């Protein structure tokens, strides 16, 4: 067990909004474009026919804030829920593969999944989080273009 020097203190009103540090944040995506001729392999994209010399990748830094709501602790355990308000906004980037592929990835965002609650339990004595569940989705123009092509 990893004990901290003194128990964590919950914020007044059991709710806190934390700004995201754009310089310290990071999210990315990677897509493996393949040319599958076998139907069984095609279903999962497991064929060897990689296009464009490998993975197409994009990364971005985020801005925005995260809201955390806590419940009153019971036996030094508090349940918490996390939301992202209007969402986190990413910088524009380019989805790029090693050979002959570049696609703008504009309007990058990370948003909560409607109807789903991101949550977990925090041990105020050890600082450990248990039962974490996190529901979010990424969006950008490159993913929209890929979705339209399917």
Average pLDDT over residues 129-148: 86
Residue 135 resides in a domain: yes
DSSP 29-98: EEE--B---SHHHHHHT-SS-BSTTS-EEEEE-EESEEEEEEPPPBTTEEEEEEE-TT-EEEPPEEEEET
Q: Dihedral sign for Cα 83, 86, 88, 94, please.
A: positive
| Within-domain flag for 89 | yes
Q: In which region does residue 86 sit, left (phi positive, over 0), alpha (psi from -120 to 50) or beta (all else)?
A: alpha
Please report, rounded to a whole number, the percentage of residues in the chain having pLDDT higher than 90: 67
- The whole domain housing 103 covers 12-149
Does residue 115 fall inside a structural domain? Answer: yes
Tell me, yes or no, whether 5 lies in a domain.
no
Total domains present in the chain:
1
pLDDT in tens, 2-45: 556 789 999 999 999 999 999 999 888 888 888 888 888 877 77
Q: Is 116 within a domain?
A: yes
Instruction: For residue 4, tell me if it sits in a domain.
Output: no
Model pLDDT, residue 134? 95
Asked if 81 and 118 count as a contact pair (C-beta separation under 8 A), the reply is yes
pLDDT at 38: 82
33 lies in some domain: yes
């Amino acid at each position: 067990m990893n004990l901290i020097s003194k128990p964590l203190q919950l914020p007044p009103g059991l709710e806190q909004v934390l700004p995201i540090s754009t310089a310290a944040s990071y999210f990315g995506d990677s897509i493996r474009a393949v040319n599958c001729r076998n139907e069984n392999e095609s279903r999962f994209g497991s064929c060897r026919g990689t296009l464009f010399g490998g993975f197409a990748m994009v990364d971005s830094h985020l801005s925005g804030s995260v809201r955390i709501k806590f419940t009153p602790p019971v036996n030094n355990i508090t349940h918490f829920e996390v939301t992202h308000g209007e969402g986190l906004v990413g910088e524009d980037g380019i989805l790029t593969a090693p050979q002959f592929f570049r696609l703008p990835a504009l309007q990058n965002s990370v948003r909560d999944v409607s109807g789903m609650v991101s949550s977990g339990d925090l041990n105020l004595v050890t600082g450990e989080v248990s039962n974490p569940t996190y529901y979010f989705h990424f969006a950008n123009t490159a993913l929209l273009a890929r979705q339209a092509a399917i």
